[in-house]
């Protein structure tokens, strides 16, 4: 498993202006023989409305069952932060993140819940997953309630 080279971990990283420029990295999974779930939570995710340029905010919950690779968390933080100046609809942001993580880490399974705060009075929650979860995988609730003044 030498198919990786870390460019951000353990050194200063300036960040990226867009998701297209961001580098999402992976590291070998030392527990690849075990079926387990890893969760990333980003309660302060920000992007821009592609029409108005106004900020949009979401609480992201990303669950994945790693296989041979893990997502390197510093690179994920920088990747998610790159959306702050990126104009895209809620659905596009949520699905793009899930697809990019799947492309890089090739997990056994992945799901992402994008719980978007309302603009114009309507919250938009977006869910993406790569398929049915593997049998025997423990799937905890994502823990984000339906919108009632989330916080």
Determine the structural domain holding residue 88 and report its residue range.
26-129
What pLDDT digit, counting tens, does each position of 58-70 carry? 999 999 999 999 9
Does some domain include residue 20?
A: no
The reply to whether 102 falls in a domain is yes
Residue 44 located in a structural domain = yes
- The number of folded domains in the chain is 1
pLDDT of residue 6: 65
pTM: 0.89
Low-confidence residues of the chain: pLDDT under 50: 1
Residue at 146 is within a domain: no
Residue-level pLDDT at 134: 98
Give me the sheet containing 109-116, strands edge to edge. Answer: 38-48, 55-65, 109-116, 125-129
Catalytic positions are 49, 56
Quick: pLDDT tens for 93-111: 999 999 999 999 999 999 9
Residues near 42 by Cβ (< 8 Å), separated by ≥ 6? 58, 59, 60, 62, 80
What pLDDT was estimated at residue 133? 97
- So what's the pLDDT on residue 17? 77
DSSP, residue by residue, 85-106:
G-B--HHHHHHHHHHHHHHHH-
Domain assignment present for residue 7? The answer is no
Q: What is the CATH number of the domain that holds 114?
A: 3.30.1130.10
Q: What pLDDT was estimated at residue 12?
A: 63
Residue 6 lies inside a defined structural domain of this protein? no
């Amino acid at each position: 498993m030498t198919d990786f080279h870390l460019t951000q971990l353990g050194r200063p990283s300036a960040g990226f202006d867009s998701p297209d420029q961001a580098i999402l990295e992976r590291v070998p999974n030392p527990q690849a023989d075990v079926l387990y779930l890893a969760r990333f939570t980003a309660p302060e995710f920000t992007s821009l409305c592609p029409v108005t340029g106004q900020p949009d905010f979401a609480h992201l919950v990303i669950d994945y069952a790693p296989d041979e690779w893990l997502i390197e968390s510093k690179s994920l933080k920088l990747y998610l932060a790159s959306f702050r100046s990126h104009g895209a609809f809620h659905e596009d942001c949520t699905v793009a993140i899930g697809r990019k993580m799947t492309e890089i880490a090739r997990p056994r399974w992945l799901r992402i819940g994008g719980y978007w705060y309302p603009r114009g009075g309507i919250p938009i929650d977006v869910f993406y997953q790569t398929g049915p979860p593997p049998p025997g995988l423990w799937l905890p609730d994502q823990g984000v309630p339906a919108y009632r003044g989330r916080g």
